[in-house]
Amino acid sequence: MFKDLDPILHSQLRLAVMSLLIGVKEAEFTFIKENTNSTAGNLSVQVQKLKEAGYIEVNKQFKDNYPLTTCKITSKGVQAFEDYVKALQQYLDVGKK
Amino acid sequence: MSEEKELSQQESLSIIQMMINSAKDQQKDDGKGWIIWGWLLFAASVSTVLNLHFKWFNTFFFWNLFGLTAIVLLVVGFIRKIYQRKQRGVKTYTSELFRRLNSGFFVSLWFIILFINVASRQVTEWHVITNAGFALLVNLYAFWILVYGAAMSFKPSIIGAYISWGIGFGMLFVHQFEYIMILHGIAVLIGYIIPGHIANNEFNKLRRKG
């Protein structure tokens, strides 16, 4: 029985954000933007969707008079990411046969 | 990257790989810390051996000089770290681990240095304390090198740590300060300098690829 791929994660930019955050403790918005080659507007929308799903935590603060947004993956996000990779693996295994 | 594009399973996998590799690159260390501290410690050891031979200054002249340089470097390093954190924009688990453990390492280091200075003044056989103190220092280096090697999965440091421990253990049975300095220099060369240059080489290769 195939698991459905999580629609929240099965999107190019959201998946990239989650893949980036899974390997680090936390990352600034600008770091994610540079590494995913995305625009600030598009990234904001996708980050908000991940936050609403409870997959990431978004912390907004001010540092040296500049707004600083940091993102951190939650334990729910880690679980969802692991499930997504497992499901993906199933599809790819079938593709190989 | 755009949001709308329909993803195939292969594309999903390559995005995951690409981003995880990108995060992994952030964890790579340039080895400069090991190189700088390694060469400074090595220089202090070799200069002390030469000083003991030619009797230019008092025995610990070059170690006092090293101490002053270390204080300057620590201040510069602290300022640089603040600047780098602003630029980097990412906290990795290993960078956090090192940030927290670094202070512990330096406290232990200064503790042993203080011990050598205080205890050796209280006994006539001062060189026994000094020799044991340097063996303890090498033991501490080895522990820190092992922590680094294990956290970064970096074999040269893991090997260097165990060799340094062996040298430190051997130092307990050496009585002449000149030989203690030579062994200290060798431990630093194997534990700090060689792994540091290997790490730096790998880091530069990765940067060139990226």
Is B69 inside a domain boundary?
Answer: yes
Task: Give the pTM.
Answer: 0.79
- Taking contacts as CB-CB distances below 8 angstroms, the residues of chain B near A91 are 9
Residue B156 is part of which domain span? 31-209
Is B24 inside a domain boundary?
Answer: no
pLDDT of residue A92: 77
Residue from the list B3, B22, B90 with its beta carbon closest to the beta carbon of A28:
B90
Q: Which has the higher per-residue pLDDT, B73 or A55?
A: A55
**Chain A nearest CA to B147, separation (Å):** 19
Q: What is the mean pLDDT of residues A82-89?
A: 90
pLDDT in tens, A8-52: 999 999 999 999 999 899 999 999 999 899 999 999 999 999 999
CA A47 – CA A59 distance, rounded (Å): 11
pLDDT of residue A27: 93
**pLDDT tens, per residue, chain B with 210 residues:** 655 566 788 888 889 988 888 887 777 889 999 999 999 999 999 999 999 999 999 988 999 999 999 999 889 888 887 776 555 688 888 888 888 888 889 899 889 989 988 888 888 888 889 999 999 999 999 999 999 999 888 999 999 999 999 999 999 999 999 999 999 999 999 999 999 999 999 999 887 876
Is B11 inside a domain boundary?
Answer: no
pLDDT of residue B43: 97
Closest by CA position to B60, among listed B5, B133, B8: B133
Is B43 inside a domain boundary?
Answer: yes
What residues does each domain of chain A span? Answer: 12-96
Residue from the list B12, B24, B96 with its beta carbon closest to the beta carbon of A25:
B96
DSSP string, A31-92: HHHHHHT--HHHHHHHHHHHHHTTSEEEEEEEETTEEEEEEEE-HHHHHHHHHHHHHHHHHH
Cβ within 8 Å, pair B19-A19 = yes
pLDDT of residue B210: 62
Burial (CB < 10 A; 0-12, 13-18, 19+), residue B161, is buried
CA B83 – CA B6 distance, rounded (Å): 40
CA B169 – CA A67 distance, rounded (Å): 53
Q: Is A14 on the interface with B (CB under 8 A)?
A: yes
Instruction: Give yes or no for residue A1 having a pLDDT over 60.
Output: no
Is B79 inside a domain boundary?
Answer: yes
Q: Is A47 on the interface with B (CB under 8 A)?
A: no
pLDDT of residue B95: 81
**Chain A nearest CA to B195, separation (Å):** 25
Residue from the list A12, A35, A38 with its beta carbon closest to the beta carbon of B7:
A12
Class of A12-96 in CATH: mainly alpha
pLDDT of residue B144: 95
CA B30 – CA B28 distance, rounded (Å): 7
**Residue A94 pLDDT class (50, 70, 90 cuts):** confident
Cβ within 8 Å, pair A22-B92 = no
What is the average pLDDT value for chain B, to the nearest integer?
89
